[in-house]
Structure formats: C-alpha cells, structure tokens
Copies of this chain bind each other. A is one copy, B any other.
Amino acid sequence: MNDRLTIAGKTFGSRLFLGTGKYASPEETVGALEASGTELVTVAIRRLDLDNPGTKTELDFIDWSRYSVLPNTAGCRTVDEALFTARLGRSVTGSDWVKLEVIPDPKYLLPDPIGTLHAAERLLAEGFVVLPYIHADPVLAKHLEEAGCATVMPLGSAIGSGQGILTLHEIKIIIENARVPVVVDAGIGAPSDAALAMEIGADAVLINTAIAKATDPTLMAGAMRKAVEAGREAWRAGRIASKPYASASSPLEGVAR
C-alpha cells in the first residue's frame, strides 16, 4: 500500500533518516545505510585537510545515487556560523536542503531556540529548504512552521545519549498541532524508542549514534528499519487504549468444574 512521506515536494518511501558520524569503518557505514533502507542521509561540513586533500572518508564509499544528501550545520554555535556552514554545504553538496543546528552548549548539545529561529528566517529568505533541530517546545515548533520550515525536528533526549524519548509528552503536542512533518531527532537508543516515536504519530525519525555505535551496526540498522515500520503501521492500525485494570481475553463463562 502507499504510505509515503513528502517533505518540500520530495517523496520518501522510508521514514528512517540516518546520520553518518561515528562509524568505525566505511564498510560499517555502507552496510548500515543499506540495511536501514534509508533514503535521506545527513552529512557534516568541515574544513578540508590541506596537507592531505585527497584523503578518502567513509562518505566516498557511499553510492550517492541511492540516497538524498542532507547537509547539516552540526558544530555551529552561533547564527553566523550556521549561516556560513549552510551556504558552504549547499555549494559542496548541490542540495539546498539543510538540517539546521545552532548549538551553543557543549555538554548537553541542546539547541538555541532564539538563534535557530533567526537563522531559519535568514536561510528561508535565501531559498533554503530548512529542517530545524529543536528542543521539544511546541510553541517554538509553531514559530518555525509559520516561518516556512519544511519540517520540525524535535529532540527525544540529548544527542547521542540514547536515553530515548524523554520529551514524549511535548512531542505529542507538537504532532497534534503541526502542519508540517515532525521528525524525531536525537536520543533514540533502541528500536523500542523508534517504534514509540512513530506510534504517537511522528512522520519520521533520524538516527545516528544508536546504529553507528552498536556492537553490530548493520544488524542494528535492520532492526531500526523494522521498528520504524512497525511503529508507523501500529499508528495506522489503531492501537488499543491503555487501561488501569485488566480485561480478560478468554470467555468468562463455561469453565469446566
């Protein structure tokens, strides 16, 4: 059946987006991307090592004909850094999509709501398709939607922490109010987290550390793929309500005595 996701006019069959950081080898990167079934892959932008300009990275082993690239502004602490990196990313990737991150705090890597909105407004004016990474703040999400962002990407918990969806309640509110796709980004540690995000109605999830740092990234990538599909199907299938008491699943009458 057809249950595809459309962002800024581009349609995706997979609702699992992948990051490319922290993999131990190009083989693990390529294996995980393939096993995940992802169609959208985010990359960072960094200075070239001028002394070894030809050095290959894991990205050089990826068959880019199979994936859309999503340059991000990871590492940018200020609006100006994010704007500059976004423009460089557009030039090097040829894509005008950007995963916008403005993150002043080094310990918890939490995004700056004020700076993110300012940067988003600037980049939208320059014709970018902006996917902002944000704290799970429903009012901020609405501001960014109204500014013209293509999605909102609220965090489940701190980047790379694997704590899961600590912001479940707020993300439910964001989903309830959003008119753009909601992508849960950061914090997912296990398939159950990814499934939960999809069950409450998220449109997609973005995962990096939970796959890249698993003991077996390729196997975990496949597990995450199944979990995202399971969560989405459960959302469509209509889960049962949670009740504080029991409900027998066998007839109460007719026991032999």
| Chain A contact residues, CB within 8 Å of chain B | 19, 21-22, 44-47, 72, 74-76, 81, 84-85, 88, 104-105, 107-114, 117, 135, 137-140, 142-143, 157-164, 166, 169-170, 173, 189-193, 195-196, 199, 208-210, 212-217, 219-220, 222-227, 229-231, 233-234, 236-257
Contact = CB atoms under 8 A, between A and B. Distances in A.
A257 B248 CA distance: 46
A161 B226 contact: no
B114 A143 contact: yes
Contact of A107 (B220, B240, B246): B246
Contact of A242 (B19, B189, B226): B189
A240 B208 CA distance: 11
A79 B47 CA distance: 42
A161 B242 CA distance: 6
A201 to B, nearest CB: 12
Nearest to A107: B245
